[in-house]
Amino acid sequence: MHPFVNTAVRAARKAGETIVRGLTRFEGVETATKGLNDYVTNIDRAAEAEIIDILHTAYPHHAFLAEESGASGNADTTWIIDPLDGTTNFMHGFPQFAVSIACQVRDVIEHAVIYDPMRQEIFTASRGGGAYLESRRLRVSKQRTLEGSLIGTGFPYRENLHYLDPYMAMLRTVMTTAAGVRRPGAAALDLAYVAAGRTDGFFEIGLKAWDTAAGTLMVREAGGLVGTLDGGDYRQNGNIIAGNPRVYMALVEAFAPHLPADLREAALEQTAREVAARAQAALKSAEAADDAG
């Protein structure tokens, strides 16, 4: 395991302990809604401070982009941190949330750690080195079609509510085709589950870099594809499809008729030829995965 991953795992476990402790105490103050929100915010902040403290002590020259404290430092290497992904779940004692830590060097995500403190599952990945759940190598699922698949998603809200109509059209297509749709409520884990083959694909509008930085590397290292909603290059802009190569391509095709102009990001940046080349590479990689058993 790369030393960066080791340190990030240590930080994620420490934050996870704080989160689980917070969950236990939270059950005693369930009616104090305002206090409750503050309390959860304190847990978010405490977990983030612990992560940054451990990483900063080990790597004093690295920079940080963290959900609660924002950007700090100026270096080629940046740690992108969501200390508690799934805060709404946490606030309700719904046990689906995670710590997400990614290490980015210049523009490339090199390492990723996602920790589910309730199940004590540690997902790790390093670019070119594969994705793991503990010591088990992860592979995306072998599901060949959208029919029969299990798809994860997240609902648009707040500043993304204006995408509700196109989102509902996309959801409708998936609901009427796939075997099932899940909205678990922690995007980092949603991506880790695609990597682990627990779901076949995932899509969401309006995520942030700290939601997806670790998960996107995890999916890619497990043999999956990550792109924008129209199949373009994903650059942590938050509008995302991830999946095994075949389900990914099926989602790109299924969503194409429903995307408003501002979600056609590939069309803005890429020629049709590039999009076609990407599709071909996706299918080749699916066939290679099938051949490998």
110 binds ligand IPD (CB under 6 A): no
DSSP per-residue codes, 23-42: HHHHGGGTT-HHHHHHHHHH
Among 125, 122, 127, 129, which residue's Cα sits nearest to residue 110? 127
Shortest Cβ 95–Ca ion spacing (Å): 16
Distance of CA 264 to CAs 24, 91, 172, Å?
Answer: 44, 35, 19
Q: Which residue from 48, 50, 85, 110 is in contact with ligand IPD, where contact means CB under 6 A?
A: 85
Shortest Cβ 242–ligand IPD spacing (Å): 13
Selected range binding ligand IPD among 82-90, 132-140, 169-177, 284-292, rule: CB under 6 A: 82-90
- At 246, the amino acid letter reads R
Shortest Cβ 187–ligand IPD spacing (Å): 3
Q: Using CA atoms, how far apart are residues 19 and 95, in angstroms rounded to an integer? A: 11
117 binds ligand IPD (CB under 6 A): no
82 binds Ca ion (CB under 5 A): yes
Token pair of 38 as six digits:
């503050």
| Minimum CB distance to ligand IPD smaller for 207 or for 254 | 207
Residue 207 binding: pick among ligand IPD, Ca ion, none (C-beta 5-8 Å cut-off by kind)? ligand IPD
| Minimum CB distance to ligand IPD smaller for 110 or for 211 | 211
| Minimum CB distance to Ca ion smaller for 91 or for 125 | 91
| Minimum CB distance to ligand IPD smaller for 84 or for 146 | 84
| Minimum CB distance to ligand IPD smaller for 184 or for 232 | 184
Q: Using CA atoms, how far apart are residues 173 and 186, in angstroms rounded to an integer? A: 22
For residues 168 and 205, the answer to whether their CB atoms sit within 8 Å is: no
DSSP state of 76: S
Selected range binding ligand IPD among 12-20, 58-66, 80-88, 113-121, rule: CB under 6 A: 80-88
Q: Using CA atoms, how far apart are residues 234 and 226, in angstroms rounded to an integer? A: 6
Token pair of 274 as six digits:
């590039």
> How far is C-alpha 104 from the chain's CA centre?
15
| Minimum CB distance to ligand IPD smaller for 202 or for 246 | 202
Query: Which residues within the stretch 121-180 sit at the binding site for ligand IPD (CB under 6 A)?
Result: 154
| Minimum CB distance to ligand IPD smaller for 162 or for 284 | 162
48 binds ligand IPD (CB under 6 A): no
Helix (H) or strand (E) holding 190: helix 187-195
Q: Which residue from 86, 166, 224, 243 is in contact with ligand IPD, where contact means CB under 6 A?
A: 86
Q: Which residue from 200, 211, 221, 230 is in contact with ligand IPD, where contact means CB under 6 A?
A: 211
Q: Using CA atoms, how far apart are residues 293 and 289, in angstroms rounded to an integer? A: 7
Pairing status of strand 121-126 against strand 136-137:
unpaired
Torsion of CA 226, 232, 238, 242, to 10 degrees: -20
Residue 154 binding: pick among ligand IPD, Ca ion, none (C-beta 5-8 Å cut-off by kind)? ligand IPD
Give the footprint of ligand IPD on this chain (CB under 6 A).
Answer: 82, 85-88, 154, 185-187, 204, 207, 211
